[in-house]
Amino acid sequence: MKLRPRQQQILDFIASYLDKHNYPPTIREIGSAVGISSTSVVNYNLEKLEEMKLIERNREVSRGLRLLEHDSQKPEPVRGRQIPMYGAIAAGVPIPVPDDPEAVLELVAVPEDLLPRSGDTFALHVKGHSMIDALVDDGDIIVVRSQPRVETGQMAIAEILEPHPQAGATLKRFYQSGDQVELRPANPDPAYQSFWVKSDQVRIHGAVAGVLRRYL
């Protein structure tokens, strides 16, 4: 059965919406995109597409449609979930912790194999080059498991507390030595030096579990 132009338009919109969001549009979103103000008219066209076995619908939920042809042509989606992005972390000189450190700026989709097996997880945007030998560079997004302690040598989100002159949060490798903590960079450039502080002047916010990088 040949598609009418409006039905093709709806089908194309559903496909592009799925590619962009990884979930289907609502009836109202479809109508708005293709210039149909009546939800009943959108429903009629969706029923025709369903009769032609191009979509599958679940009328119990608002986004209950599946594009069958689209599904057969797409590769198996990468399993993952969205985690909160809390802002930037310095890979260099510590930066102040935000007034509301748990304010979610956005959600970031993370593949399942980059997520730790347990614990709360969040993301931070890296600013600086001090951790390049640990394969973390400026512009990367790190996946962090929230935890108050880390093992020596682990890459950690550490906050140097007041009144230290370098107070603020930084991304470094953590080393304990008696009552002192070394926050060590991973960059051979002498411009990047360790921060040495007393143990009671450091608060650990989490350990790095993975890294996301954009190349374009």
Please identify every residue annotated as catalytic: 130, 172
Q: CA angle at residue 67 from 63 to 110, to 5 degrees?
A: 70
Which of these, 185, 187, 183, lies nearest to 204 by C-alpha position? 183
Residue with tokens 């399942």: 112
Determine contact, residues 150/117, Cβ cutoff 8 Å.
no
Length of the chain: 216
| C-alpha span between 38 and 123 (Å, rounded) | 41
**Three-class secondary structure of residue 154 per DSSP:** coil
Which of these, 159, 164, 201, lies nearest to 180 by C-alpha position? 201
**Three-class secondary structure of residue 111 per DSSP:** strand
| C-alpha span between 106 and 83 (Å, rounded) | 9
Element housing 203 (H / E): strand 202-212
**Three-class secondary structure of residue 127 per DSSP:** strand
